[in-house]
């Protein structure tokens, strides 16, 4: 990839080549008309062309685009249980009101918006983000990585703000993506984490501190300084995770499935199965895993 050159684009004229984000996602297709100075500035600040030979481009340069890494990246193990693919925007059965996360490129800022609809090959409409009961000031041309969860899948695409509308109700027109990254997390996929938790056993008042080392949709492995409980015993594990744009307190019923001593006096690893999950708990955990997978990619 190479940065977009100022002499190759101008307001009111078609793009000579397709423009990509630093991560390689298509932002705008060749032939798109640059409509404003704000859009042009955004493309110059965060847009990239493929190098000659990669997309049949007509210009040459050898400037390497900087790589990007999510600040909330979580590695996913058991890769065979994670399916990733590319899909079209209109192939997804979007529901009005679904949550879209807008991650500002080059910053750790993340806003939450709601899906309104889309005009195929034109724009995607979402509500204006609100922070502290106030609408966020978002300018035309700002670049975002958009992430969303629909059903059992997570989606991601790069877009810029085509138009920020304030009347009669605030909402945004985002550029229409040609393709979306799509990830499906299956039940056995695990992510490595480091989450402080409190573990208790049914019929006992004692509670002990634990560190969750990895987790799946069906259970977790947690380190405790000493053996706690007996295999087959039911209990509860409590912890906090960030999902769907907010911190959520989880209180999950468990069954202890294993206790394995750690070498060098590192305590014991306890394997827990999640049981009797509520619909809310399943939705939060699914969103957390989908979010981790999308940010990994």
Query: Are 23 and 143 spatial neighbours (Cβ–Cβ below 8 Å)?
Result: no
Q: Which pLDDT does position 208 carry in this prediction?
A: 93
Q: Which pLDDT does position 76 carry in this prediction?
A: 38
Q: Which pLDDT does position 26 carry in this prediction?
A: 64
Give the chain's domains with CATH numbers: 2-49 (no CATH), 89-178 (2.30.110.10), 190-296 (2.40.10.220)
pTM above threshold 0.75: no
Q: What is the pLDDT of residues 198-226, one digit of tens each?
A: 999 998 888 999 999 998 888 999 999 99
Buried b (16+ CB within 10 A) or exposed e, 122-160: ebbbbbbbeeeeeebebebbbbbbbbbbbeebbbbbbbb
Taking Cα atoms as reference points, which of 159, 72, 75 lies closest to residue 108? 72
Q: Which pLDDT does position 290 carry in this prediction?
A: 67
Q: Which residues of the chain have pLDDT under 50?
A: 54-82
Q: What is the pLDDT of residues 50-86, one digit of tens each?
A: 765 544 443 333 323 333 333 333 333 443 344 567 8
Tell me how far the alpha carbon of residue 221 is from its chain's centroid.
23
């Amino acid at each position: 990839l190479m940065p977009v050159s100022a002499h190759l684009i101008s307001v009111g004229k078609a793009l000579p080549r397709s423009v990509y984000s630093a991560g390689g996602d298509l932002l705008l297709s060749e032939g798109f008309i640059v409509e404003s100075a704000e859009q042009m500035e955004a493309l110059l600040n965060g847009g990239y062309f493929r190098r000659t030979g990669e997309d049949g481009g007509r210009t040459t340069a050898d400037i390497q685009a900087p790589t990007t890494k999510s600040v909330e990246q979580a590695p996913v193990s058991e890769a065979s249980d994670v399916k990733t693919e590319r899909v079209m925007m209109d192939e997804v059965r979007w529901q009005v009101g679904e949550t879209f996360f807008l991650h500002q490129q080059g910053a750790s800022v993340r806003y939450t918006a709601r899906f309104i609809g889309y005009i195929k090959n034109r724009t995607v409409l979402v509500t204006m983000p609100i922070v502290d009961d106030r609408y966020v000031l978002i300018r035309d041309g700002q670049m975002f990585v958009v992430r969303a969860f629909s059903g059992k899948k997570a989606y991601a695409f790069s877009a810029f703000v085509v138009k920020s509308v304030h009347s009669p109700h605030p909402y945004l027109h985002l550029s229409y993506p040609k393709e979306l990254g799509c990830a499906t997390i299956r039940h056995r996929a695990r992510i490595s984490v480091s989450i402080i938790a409190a573990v208790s056993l049914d019929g006992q008042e004692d509670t002990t501190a634990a560190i969750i080392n990895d987790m799946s949709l069906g259970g977790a492995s947690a380190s405790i300084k000493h053996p706690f409980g007996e295999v087959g015993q039911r209990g509860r594990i409590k912890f906090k995770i960030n999902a769907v744009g907010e911190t959520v307190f989880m209180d999950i019923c468990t069954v202890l499935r294993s206790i394995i001593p750690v070498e060098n006096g590192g305590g014991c690893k306890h394997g827990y199965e999640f049981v009797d999950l509520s619909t809310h708990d399943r939705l939060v955990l699914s969103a957390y895993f989908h979010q981790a997978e999308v940010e990994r990619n």
